[in-house]
Amino acid sequence: MSGKKRILLVDDDKEFVQATKDLLEAHGYEVLTAHSGAQGLEIARKSYPNLMLLDVMMATDTEGFDVSRKIEESPELKGLPVILMTGIKKAMNLPFSFEPDEDWLPVKTVLDKPVPPDKLLAEIAKLLA
């Protein structure tokens, strides 16, 4: 087994997934990918990643929110650091941002897409330190 930190990237946008995977691998991370919340949860349970990058709007407009709560309710995944990356604010023209919340949104960080690569890498490094 490699000593690389393992990141699970869950997003239904295949081009975004490939570009982000390439970026993360170029910076020394092992990257697993999933294109739905259900697939992401299944892979997380099998591979125990060090961190999850999670989109919100996939099969439903709130799928990522639902997945983040399922992670916290799951004994084997509870405590998995999650960075929520979303375009929901822009897509739905929302006048507010989402913030981590222990009950409703149990994630470490919320980043609005498009996320600058240096900001994403800094957040990942901070959570994996």
Q: What is the Cα 89 distance to its own chain's centre?
A: 16
Going by the DSSP 8-state scheme, the letter that residue 78 receives in this structure is: T
Distance CA 127, CA 83 (A): 9
pLDDT tens readout for residues 13-59: 999 999 999 999 999 999 999 999 999 999 999 999 999 999 998 99
- pLDDT tens digits for 3-18? 899 999 999 999 999 9
Look up the pTM and report it: 0.88
Task: Report the topology of domain 6-128.
Answer: Rossmann fold (3.40.50)
Considering the chain, what percentage of its residues have pLDDT values greater than 90?
71
For the chain, what are the domain ranges? 6-128
